[in-house]
Amino acid sequence: MFGGRDGAQKRFVAATMTPAIVYVAIFSLLPIVWAVALAFFDFSPRRTGTPFLGLGADNPFVGLQHFKNMFDFSADAPLEVQQFHIAVKTTLIFAFLVVPLNLAITLPLASMIESVGRRSRVLFRTVFFLPVLASSVGVAIIWGYVLHPQRGLLNALLTKLTEDVTIVSWVADPSMVVVGIPVALLAILTAYLWQDIGYNLVIFIAALQAIPDSVKDAALVDGASAWQRFRYVTLPLLKPAILLTSVLTMISAFQVFDLFQVMTRGGPDDQTRVLTLDIYENAFRYQRMGWAAAVSLVLFLIVFLISRVQARMLRVEWEY
Partner 1 sequence: MRHTSRWLAAAAALVLLAGACTFGTETPTTEPTGSGTGSGSPVTLRLWSHRSPAFNGALKEAIAAYTAMHPEVTIELESFDYDSYIQTLQTALPAGTEADLLQMFGTWTCSYAGFLAPVPEDVSTTEAAHEAFYAAPIGGYTCDDTLYGFPHEFNIEYGATLVNTQIAETAGVDWEAGWDSWDAFRADALKMTDSVDGNVLRTGYHFTAADGLSYSFFSLLIEAGGSMLNEDGTAFTLDTPEAREAFSVLQAFVDDGVIDPVLFNDTENWVGDCYFEELCSMGLVGPWVVRDYEEGAPDVAAVTQYVPLPPYNGSSDFVADSGWGLTVSANSPAAQTAWDFIAFTTLDPANAAAFNLSSGSLPALVENGVGAVRDALVSEFPHFEPFFEVLPNGQYVGNLPDRDLLWYEIAYPHLLSGLQGNESVDEMLAAMEREANETFG
Task: Out of 67, 129, 257, 286, point to the residue binding partner 1 (CB under 8 A).
Answer: 286
Judged by CB, which is closer to partner 1: 263, or 297? 263
Q: Are 292 and 279 within 8 A, CB to CB? A: yes
Q: Read off φ and ψ for residue 142, nearest 5 degrees.
A: -60, -45
Task: Out of 60, 174, 211, 216, point to the residue binding partner 1 (CB under 8 A).
Answer: 174
Judged by CB, which is closer to partner 1: 18, or 135? 18
Give the integer Cα–Cα distance in Å for 312 and 180: 30
Judged by CB, which is closer to partner 1: 99, or 147? 147
- Contact between 150 and partner 1 (CB under 8 A)? yes
Judged by CB, which is closer to partner 1: 70, or 202? 70
- Contact between 287 and partner 1 (CB under 8 A)? yes
Give the integer Cα–Cα distance in Å for 30 and 48: 22
Q: Which amino acid is at 48?
A: T
Candidate segments 61-69, 85-93, 108-116, 267-275, binder of partner 1 by CB under 8 A = 267-275
Nearest to 42 by CA among 68, 67, 71, 66: 66
Residues 2-31 that bind partner 1 (CB under 8 A): 2, 10, 13-14, 17-18, 21-22, 24-26, 29-30
Judged by CB, which is closer to partner 1: 24, or 206? 24
Residues 152-171 that bind partner 1 (CB under 8 A): 164-165, 167, 169, 171
Q: Are 227 and 68 within 8 A, CB to CB? A: no
Query: What are the residues facing 285 on neighbouring strands?
Result: none
DSSP annotation of 41 reads B
Residues 289-308 that bind partner 1 (CB under 8 A): 289
Nearest to 248 by CA among 313, 312, 310: 310
The HSE-up count of residue 144 (CA atoms within 13 Å, CB side) is 14
Nearest-approach distance from CB 142 to partner 1, in angstroms: 16
Q: Read off φ and ψ for residue 212, nearest 5 degrees.
A: -65, 140
- Contact between 226 and partner 1 (CB under 8 A)? no
Interhelix angle 79-115/239-255, rounded to 10 degrees, is 140
Give the integer Cα–Cα distance in Å for 304 and 151: 42
- Contact between 278 and partner 1 (CB under 8 A)? no
Q: Are 98 and 245 within 8 A, CB to CB? A: no
Task: Out of 90, 200, 246, 264, point to the residue binding partner 1 (CB under 8 A).
Answer: 264
The residue ranges that bind partner 1 (CB under 8 A) are 1-2, 10, 13-14, 17-18, 21-22, 24-26, 29-30, 33, 45-49, 51-54, 58, 76, 78-79, 83, 149-151, 164-165, 167, 169, 171-175, 263-265, 267-270, 281, 284-287, 289
